[in-house]
Amino acid sequence: TANIILVVAENMLGDKKVTVVFVLGGPGSGKGTQCSNIVEHFGFTHLSAGDLLRAEIKSGSENGTMIENMIKEGKIVPSEVTIKLLQQAMIKNENDKFLIDGFPRNEENRAAFENVTKISPAFVLFFNCSEEEMERRLLGRNEGRVDDNIETIRKRFKVFVESSLPVIEYYDAKDKVKKIDAAKPIPEVFEDVKAIFAPYAKAT
């Protein structure tokens, strides 16, 4: 009789092995700002779930109106839509190191991503900041986002506490969360981020 050993390769995307870091934190905690710094210093590719959804609206996709309405209400778009966008973006990029910013936002996002892609994050970078400070930043952002108004900001905070924090707790129980004090000025936050990414430094 033959013995069959089945090896299930994890974190494979087609024929490339990928490193994924989930970047989480409340609205306005500074995820996008710090991701730009990480891209520059550590050679990751930044994929913001929110940016991908906003690009999908602009592209005139059949899901555009649904996504726009969800974003205006601060609600989480169904996982299948967001995961497809993330998968497509990772496949068409030659890099093998990705920062996935603003995802997973709820338990449905988390479980579906794991089931569909079989990818688990190397770690979760969590930007911790008070609502008071995040509100100040969002109201001062001036990027013309339809959800940067006080009414939607309050809804986004509620969704963060009720749906996104449990995801962070899930990964914390697995010792995968690296928590950053995001209330400090941008350069100081990046000093703390740098210490975490040191093992991923680009060879010079």
Ligand X SMILES: Nc1ncnc2c1ncn2[C@@H]1O[C@H](COP(=O)(O)OP(=O)(O)OP(=O)(O)O)[C@@H](O)[C@H]1O
Ligand Y SMILES: Nc1ccn([C@@H]2O[C@H](COP(=O)(O)O)[C@@H](O)[C@H]2O)c(=O)n1
Which residues would be at the binding site for ligand X (CB under 6 A)?
25, 27-33, 50, 102, 137, 141, 185-186, 189
Residue 151 CA to residue 51 CA, distance in Å, equals 21
User: Whose CB is nearest to ligand X?
Assistant: 30
**Least distance (Å) from ligand Y to the CB of residue 176?**
18
Contact between 74 and ligand Y (CB under 6 A)? Answer: yes
Residue 129 CA to residue 26 CA, distance in Å, equals 7
Pick from 105, 125, 134, 177 the residue near ligand Y by CB under 6 A. 105
Contact between 103 and ligand Y (CB under 6 A)? Answer: yes
Q: Which among Mg ion, ligand Y, ligand X, none contacts residue 110 (Cβ within 5 to 8 A by kind)?
A: none
Residue 36 CA to residue 142 CA, distance in Å, equals 18
Stretch that binds ligand Y, among 9-17, 44-52, 91-99, 113-121 (CB under 6 A): 44-52
Residue 88 CA to residue 100 CA, distance in Å, equals 13
Write the CA distances from 32 to 100, 179, 192, integer angstroms.
Answer: 10, 16, 16
Site string for ligand Y, 156-185 (x = CB under 6 A): x-----------------------------
Subset of residues 15 to 74 that bind Mg ion, contact rule: CB under 5 A = 31-32
Q: Which among ligand Y, Mg ion, ligand X, none contacts residue 56 (Cβ within 5 to 8 A by kind)?
A: none
Q: What are 198's two structure tokens?
A: 């040191």
Closest by CA position to 48, among listed 61, 31, 60: 31
Q: Is 64 helix (H, G, I), strand (E, B) or coil?
A: helix
Q: Which among Mg ion, ligand Y, ligand X, none contacts residue 82 (Cβ within 5 to 8 A by kind)?
A: ligand Y
Instruction: Please state at what angle helix 64-73 crosses helix 49-58, rounded to 10 degrees.
Output: 130
* Helix intervals (H) in 79-185: 79-92, 107-117, 131-139, 150-159, 165-172
Contact between 82 and ligand Y (CB under 6 A)? Answer: yes
Binding positions for ligand Y, rule: CB under 6 A: 27, 48-50, 53, 70-71, 74-77, 82, 102-103, 105, 109, 147, 156
